């Protein structure tokens, strides 16, 4: 019964996982507390803590002070997904990257963008449409709004050299971002830009990033047909 060499947190984690998988601890069950497990496993409580905390982070355990630790009832697993810069994504596949600015202007944003970015009516933002190409073929195009108030220096940047996204991540820190993933149907504009047929299903990412309570930029990335985003648990 008493454990053997469970002195590393990975070992403890593996054993806990084994017991969950073997249904020795079933979903909803409380498991022994950290002190008890540390005795059983012959290690420090901090080691048990690290192992259980990691499992809780993935959504497999549910931990609450005083209540204890239980095996999660509804396994809402958490996957982590990488948000790469498009250039790295393309170059990582061994393809050559190029991007072009289709248009750049100051304009009053539509209401949807205004709401997303918490902008007063009538304020003009920078509106930038860019196309990113992999091996010369359209890969994704970005329809981006930038709040110049939140981005000092953007006016003087040459965004035809470095893409807006790259310039922003290199120059403007941000606290957080919202992402949403969806699909859309290619209209005339998308079909032309991405060189695909009208009516094709396209993968879309909408992203806003903010800092100091100010929304910096909001962008819609529309990918050419065939794009896939991957992740693992």
Partner DNA sequence: CAGTGGTCTAGACCACAAG
Partner DNA sequence: TTGTGGTCTAGACCACTGG
Tokens of 139: 């890969």
> Which residues inside 50-109 make contact with DNA, applying CB under 7 A?
50, 52-53, 56, 63-69
Least Å from the CB of residue 22 to a copy of itself: 8
**Spatial separation of the C-alpha atoms in residues 39 and 213, rounded to whole Å:** 47
**Spatial separation of the C-alpha atoms in residues 80 and 219, rounded to whole Å:** 21
Of the two residues 107 and 229, which places its CB atom closer to a copy of itself in the complex?
A: 229
> Which residues inside 41-60 make contact with DNA, applying CB under 7 A?
42-47, 49-50, 52-53, 56
**Spatial separation of the C-alpha atoms in residues 8 and 3, rounded to whole Å:** 12
Least Å from the CB of residue 27 to a copy of itself: 7
Contact between 217 and DNA (CB under 7 A)? Answer: no
Long-range contacts of 147-150 (CB under 8 A, 24+ apart): 147/117, 147/119, 147/214, 147/215, 147/216, 147/217, 149/214, 150/211, 150/212, 150/214, 150/215, 150/216, 150/217
Least Å from the CB of residue 231 to DNA: 22
Least Å from the CB of residue 21 to DNA: 20
Which residues of the shown chain bind a copy of itself in the complex (CB under 8 A)?
20-21, 23, 27, 59, 74-85, 88, 169-170, 173, 176-186, 199-204, 211, 223, 225-233
């Amino acid at each position: 019964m008493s454990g053997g060499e469970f002195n590393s947190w990975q070992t403890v984690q593996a054993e806990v996982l084994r017991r969950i998988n073997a249904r020795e601890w079933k979903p909803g069950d409380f498991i022994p507390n950290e002190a008890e497990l540390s005795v059983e496993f012959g290690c420090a409580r901090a080691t048990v803590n690290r192992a259980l905390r990691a499992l809780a982070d993935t959504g497999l355990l549910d931990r609450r002070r005083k209540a204890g630790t239980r095996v999660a009832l509804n396994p809402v697993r958490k996957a982590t997904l990488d948000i790469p810069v498009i250039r790295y994504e393309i170059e990582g596949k061994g393809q050559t990257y190029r991007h072009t600015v289709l248009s750049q202007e100051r304009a009053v944003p539509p209401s949807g963008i205004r709401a997303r970015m918490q902008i007063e009516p009538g304020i003009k933002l920078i509106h930038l449409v860019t196309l990113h190409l992999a091996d010369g073929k359209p890969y994704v195009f970005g329809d981006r709004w930038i709040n110049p108030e939140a981005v000092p220096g953007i006016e003087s940047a040459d965004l035809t050299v470095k893409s807006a996204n790259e310039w922003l991540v290199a120059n403007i820190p941000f606290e957080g971002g919202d992402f949403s993933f969806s699909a859309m149907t290619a209209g005339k504009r998308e079909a032309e830009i991405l060189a695909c047929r009208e009516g094709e299903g396209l993968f879309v990412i909408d992203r806003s990033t903010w800092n100091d309570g100010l929304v910096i930029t909001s962008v819609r990335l529309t990918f050419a047909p065939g794009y896939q985003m991957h992740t693992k648990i």
